[in-house]
Amino acid sequence: MGIKVLIPTPLRNLTNEKESVEVNGANVAEVFDSLEAQHPGLKERLVDDAGELRRFVNVYVNQEDVRFKEGKDTVLSDGDELSIVPAIAGGR
Amino acid sequence: MGEQVGYTPLIKADRLAKALGLGEVWLKNDTVNYPTLSFKDRVVSVALSRSIEMGFDVVACASTGNLANSVAANAAAAGLTSFVFIPSDLEVGKVLGSLVYGTNVIPVDGTYDKVNRLCSEVADKYNWAFANVNIRPYYAEGSKTMAFEIAEQLGWRIPDNIVVPMAGGSLITKIHKAFNEFRKLGLVEDTPCRIFGAQAENCSPIVTAVKNGSDLIKPVENPDTIVKSLAIGNPADGFYAYHVMESTGGYGENPTDAETVAGIKLLGETEGIFAETAGGVTVSATKRLVESGKLSKDSSVVLCITGNGLKTREVLEGTYHVHDAIQPTLSDVVGLMDSLKNSSNQKVEEAAWA
Ligand SMILES: Cc1ncc(COP(=O)(O)O)c(C=O)c1O
């Protein structure tokens, strides 16, 4: 058992339309690396060059916003659920 | 959908202007917007019209209350099934104000931001049109009519200043966009308008960013304010709202809950308008902007009063003294008048601002 990652619709073209993906990783950053290994192109949609979460991407671990935890260093354990939710905004 | 929505009164508010120390003040009075008494009917009329065009049978939303009321009512009128997701601690008026339209109210334990996250996941799972999630671009455009009408009702001109309440930060962004569109079309003269944003002290991530001069919006984890309609801790459009205020020379203010209640009362007593908490925030933020010199007598100010006070009555409970009941006799009235003469109790209550 690893970490279950919920993939939002706009990113499912990178996961063969899968709604969720199981990966391993001891923290959020490691999960992103594992995601990238399985589904190349995903990581750059989530973080910038410095590895920081992009402005309009929200990441939740078991329903908690990682920005209220340790961000990309938030520790994960087997069975955790990580949800990626794009903030839908803008359209000026 | 929603041909009757909008075109609410724009009121010249001389008595409020005087109380605030301003010159020309106007109120865009969306407390009487049709059908659910808040500006959200504007966004819903566009979002639901588009949802119907796109063939959705089920419409939904994540809401701090007003949006839920509007989705529920407009869905009922269109014969659509609806689901409204709300934080479980909303005001009774906002919950009943959805239930009456036969919608499915889903209270969620947690903050609005949790409700919103959940709805993003639900929108991925079910083929529903969420007004402010997957249909959001249309919803957001609906806000523009508020600014279009203000410009038209002012005689095709743009005000010098406008004060707008902010939750997710969409309305303020679209007011800016709408004024720009009218300028571009040549419908109004290209005069500047400073755009000011208002939030409640205990949930003011966008105003805090403006005051700090940084567009990094720090989310608020547990908003704790009576201003539930604006209690969005992680505002999706915060970044854009920041730049609207910054680029127009505006600013942000975040009054306390006590100031908000005082603002509701001031608006009621000076202009005969009963606004909800968001209106109290807008009035009391304006007062602060006058006190700090950001707004002054020599320019026009429009206040966006976006929701109706009957939906948030509980914030006034216990703040008024009601006379004991009298007998239906003239002598009781005379006695009451005499006792009133001797008390100072009829004076406008200004405790919060004293
Ligand atoms: C009465 C009222 N005014 C203003 C707003 C702010 O809207 P926005 O989320 O577009 O900033 C809301 C949003 O819920 C509201 O209910």
Q: Which CATH class is domain A3-86?
A: alpha beta
**Tens-digit pLDDT profile for residues B98-138:** 999 999 999 999 999 999 999 999 998 999 999 999 999 99
Q: Do B113 and A8 make contact, defined as CB atoms within 8 angstroms?
A: no
Q: Do B219 and A55 make contact, defined as CB atoms within 8 angstroms?
A: no
Give which of B188, B126, B196 is closest to B161, Cα–Cα.
Answer: B196
A56, A65, A85 ranked by CB distance to B120: nearest: A85
Whether the per-residue pLDDT at B351 is higher than 70: the answer is no
**Tens-digit pLDDT profile for residues B41-100:** 999 999 999 999 999 999 999 999 999 999 999 999 999 999 999 999 999 999 999 999
- For residue A90, the distance in angstroms to the closest alpha carbon of chain B comes to 6
- Run of H or E residues at A81: strand A81-86
Whether the per-residue pLDDT at B350 is higher than 50: the answer is no
Q: Calculate the dihedral angle through the C-alpha atoms of A23, A24, A28, A30, rounding to the nearest 10 degrees.
A: -110
Distances, alpha carbon B6 to alpha carbons B36, B174, B178, in Å: 11, 15, 15
Q: Calculate the dihedral angle through the C-alpha atoms of B326, B332, B338, B339, rounding to the nearest 10 degrees.
A: -30
**pLDDT bucket at B1, cuts 50 / 70 / 90:** confident
A65, A83, A89 ranked by CB distance to B240: nearest: A89
Whether the per-residue pLDDT at B230 is higher than 60: the answer is yes
Ligand 1 proximity of B307 Cβ (cutoff 6 Å): yes
**pLDDT bucket at A55, cuts 50 / 70 / 90:** confident
Ligand 1 mean position, distance from CA B305 (Å) = 10
Q: Is the pTM higher than 0.90?
A: yes
Q: Assign 3-class secondary structure to chain B.
A: CCCCCCCCCEEECHHHHHHHCCCCEEEEEHHHCCCCCECHHHHHHHHHHHHHHCCCCEEEEECCCHHHHHHHHHHHHHCCEEEEEEECCCCHHHHHHHHCCCCEEEEECCCHHHHHHHHHHHHHHCCCEECCCCCHHHHHHHCHHHHHHHHHHCCCCCCCEEEEECCCCHHHHHHHHHHHHHHHHCCCCCCCCEEEEECECCECHHHHHHHHCCCCCCCCCCCCCCCHHHCCCCCCCHHHHHHHHHHHCCCEECCCHHHHHHHHHHHHHHHCCCECHHHHHHHHHHHHHHHCCCCCCCCCEEEEECEEHHHHHHHHCCCCCCCCCCCCCHHHHHHHHHHHHCCCCCCCCCHHHC
Ligand 1 proximity of B280 Cβ (cutoff 6 Å): no
Ligand 1 proximity of B170 Cβ (cutoff 6 Å): yes
Predicted ipTM beyond 0.90: no
Give which of B352, B314, B242 is closest to B89, Cα–Cα.
Answer: B314
Where do the domains of chain B lie, and which CATH numbers do they carry? 10-37+143-316 (3.40.50.1100), 40-139 (3.40.50.1100)
Distances, alpha carbon B12 to alpha carbons A52, A67, B273, B307, in Å: 49, 44, 12, 18
The pLDDT of residue B188: 98
Contacts of B169 in chain A (CB under 8 A): 89
**Tens-digit pLDDT profile for residues B185-227:** 999 999 999 999 999 999 999 999 999 999 999 999 999 999 9
Which residue in B has a C-alpha nearest to residue A8's C-alpha? B124
